[in-house]
Amino acid sequence: MSGIALSRLSQERKAWRKDHPFGFVAVPTKNPDGTMNLMNWECAIPGKKGTLWEGGQYKLRMLFKDDYPSSPPKCKFEPPIFHPNVYPSGTVCLSILEEEKDWRPAITIKSIWILCFFLLF
């Protein structure tokens, strides 16, 4: 694992814990030895009020490569949801999550979640 990736993810985790939108969840998974795996996060996005999605918690996994933040995380709904901006595999279709398109290393986890929320609802 890259020191740069782990350092950035650790900083983002601290920032997320201090300030994140109500109802959103983003937690690193645990390794078999009980330590945090900052390269694999379990997350959830709340359904927007006033929509058919209201009241739901839509689970998503974020997987980070060793070269993060040079490359974007993979964001995948588990289980997959039916939505025009989600591939049948559950992978989110969002240009900022594509290295060849709009990904920039300055994009934060919080930014990704907010964009996913507005993309879905």
Q: How far apart are CA 82 and CA 61, in angstroms?
A: 16
Catalytic residue among 43, 75, 93, 116: 93
Which candidate, 41, 58, 59, 56, places its Cα nearest to that of 109?
Answer: 41
Q: How far apart are CA 103 and CA 101, in angstroms?
A: 6
93 labelled catalytic:
yes
Specify the amino acid at residue 19: D
* Residue 38: its H or E element: strand 36-46
Q: Which residue in the block uniquely carries the two structure tokens 């289980």?
A: 79
Catalytic residues: 93
